Chain A
Amino acid sequence: MMELISGLPEDLARDCLIRVSYQQFPTVASVCKGWKTEILTPEYHRQRRRTGQAQKVLVMVQARIEPDKSETGSTKRLTNPVYRLSVFEPEKSTWSELPAPPGYSSGLPVMCQLACVGYDLVVLGGLDPDTWKASNSVFVYNFLSAKWRCGTQMPGGSRMFFGCASDARRMIFVAGGHDDEKNALRSALMYDVAVDEWVELPEMSSERDECKAVFRRGRFIVVGGYTTENQGRFEKSAEVFDFVTWKWGQVEKEFLDCATCPMTLVNGGDCDESVYMCCGGELVTMRGHTWQKMGKVPDEIRNVAYVGAFGGAVVVIGSNGYGEVHMGYVFDLRSYKWRKLDCPKGFTGHVQTGCVLEI
């Protein structure tokens, strides 16, 4: 077999190649067959993770700031914000933007959801930015090839404001939301990203519009939301899907502390079994079955737009009020201290949702 790097033993060559940034994957794969094979082997990525070379990345659906309007420090005047995917790397403090999916150069579907599985970032649903019609579209961005592909649409009629979570390995789960007549839904789906196949799950016990979903300890948990009758009156309850019996378990009535929109609820990173959320100006976490306060959300963030958890840290993105610039703070789970993120001007637009990856 040819040497990866001429004159170097294979393990030393790999020591070098695991240190390239994910942005260089397409270049590495184009150098020669050996390098292409190398970055496609699972061992390459295992070693990258094990030695701490894998990059933590926060991908957000964020409104583009038009340069002439950012002078005022406000985004109020943008009537139809254009959403794109911005990428923040907390370790390097760098911001960048992903290319638009094919056919969506004028912006991502509004209110789309994100989930990720391995190296695939999946954009699900939302309103078409041109026609404002609900779309069940699925786009997959692969970080190894730096390319988009179209996935099979979400089946079962239009679905908006659903909950969405992934097991980080293979599957994405979708539950609740509402149809195009604003009927809250109790149906749920499972998407196998690699095979590009949707499977229907049994119905939940309750309709859950605007619910949130998390994946924790191998369980798919759908939290909060409201029924068609109770428009906007959020529930505290949650239900858990059991993959062994293929059934929804007993409803946990008091899962949330307060009957609020569960949008900021998020599960922790790879080695973190906790869930976090922002509630009443506090960052809280669930210990056992009770919620505990961890720290007061900085005053500057009155409206929390998105919460994301990395190993050891929780990122909170939000603004001081409707239409104001968005900023981010990182809460260190060891020191319990907040640190403000440096957001360059182009990355202060409204953040609609986000997703955390390690690549």
Chain B
Amino acid sequence: MAAEKSSIKIITLIAADGSVFEVEPNIVKEMKTVQSYIDELDQNTVSIPLPNVFGNDLAMIIEYCKKHASEEETKEAKEEFDFEFVKRMKSDDKLRLLQAASYLNMESFLQFMAKAIAAEIENQSVEFVRDYFQIESDFTPEEEAELRKENEWAFK
């Protein structure tokens, strides 16, 4: 694995707001953006600025990575963690974390967040979905009336 080839012991991540996080190499394994940076270095410590990720979000991502990188945690415990992790997020948090995942090039975390966002649509009314994603209907009043008539159940 790339992280083991390198001699780096501690990685310092600096978020957009200046907050600093010290993590072990195995925590950033999934962050390909960070990984490609440290692969080229041959030193014990490194500081990496992440100007597109805020401290609060980075803290959550690190928390997620720590849990998932742990070999002591059972599969069930990780699933339970995932469930709680998503539960305490607001819609803005999810969209921001998805973008952070994209910036950090974290494939499985990105999928996890995309799934969490898609789940917001499940069994919800059209009004709820519009509200949640702050989308204004651009259908004409006639089209809107037709949609409501056809999909009455979806507007409940």
A interface residue numbers (CB < 8 A to B):
2, 5-9, 12, 15-21, 23-24, 26-28, 30-35, 146-147
Contact = CB atoms under 8 A, between A and B. Distances in A.
Contact of B114 (A12, A21, A33): A12
B122 interface: yes
Given A6-B133, A12-B114, A30 B121 contact: no
B153 to A, nearest CB: 9
A212 to B, nearest CB: 37
A33 B138 contact: yes
Contacts of A34: 138
Interface of B: 95, 98-99, 102, 110-111, 114-115, 117-119, 121-126, 129-130, 133-139, 147, 150-151, 154-155
Given A30-B126, A32-B130, A8 B99 contact: yes
Given A15-B110, A15-B114, A30 B151 contact: yes
Residue from the set A17, A19, A31 with the largest chain B CB neighbour count within 10 Å: A31
A338 to B, nearest CB: 25
Contact of B118 (A7, A16, A33): A16
B114 to A, nearest CB: 4
10 contacts: A2-B138, A6-B133, A6-B134, A9-B99, A12-B99, A15-B98, A15-B111, A20-B121, A31-B126, A32-B130
Contact of B138 (A15, A27, A32): A32
Q: Which 8 pairs between the two chains have the least Cβ-Cβ distance?
A: A19-B118, A15-B114, A16-B117, A30-B126, A27-B154, A16-B114, A30-B147, A20-B118
A1 to B, nearest CB: 12
A27 B134 contact: no
A32 B136 contact: yes
B133 A21 contact: no
A88 to B, nearest CB: 19
Nearest to B150: A147
A126 to B, nearest CB: 27
A9 B125 CA distance: 25
B83 to A, nearest CB: 16
B119 to A, nearest CB: 8
A24 B137 contact: no
Contacts of B126: 27, 30-31
A50 B117 CA distance: 20
Nearest to A145: B150
A263 B86 CA distance: 47
Contact of B129 (A6, A31, A146): A31
Given A27-B124, A27-B126, A31-B126, A8 B135 contact: no
Given A7-B95, A16-B98, A16-B114, A27 B121 contact: yes
A21 B154 contact: no
A19 B133 CA distance: 16
A4 to B, nearest CB: 9
Contacts of B133: 5-6, 31
Contacts of A28: 121, 129
B137 A32 contact: yes
Contacts of B123: 23-24
Given A7-B99, A32-B137, 19 more contacts: A5-B117, A6-B134, A16-B117, A19-B118, A19-B119, A23-B122, A23-B123, A24-B121, A26-B151, A27-B121, A27-B124, A27-B126, A27-B129, A31-B129, A31-B133, A31-B137, A33-B139, A34-B138, A147-B150
B98 A8 contact: yes
Residue from the set A12, A15, A16, A32 with the largest chain B CB neighbour count within 10 Å: A16
Contact of B154 (A17, A20, A26, A32): A26
A351 B133 CA distance: 42
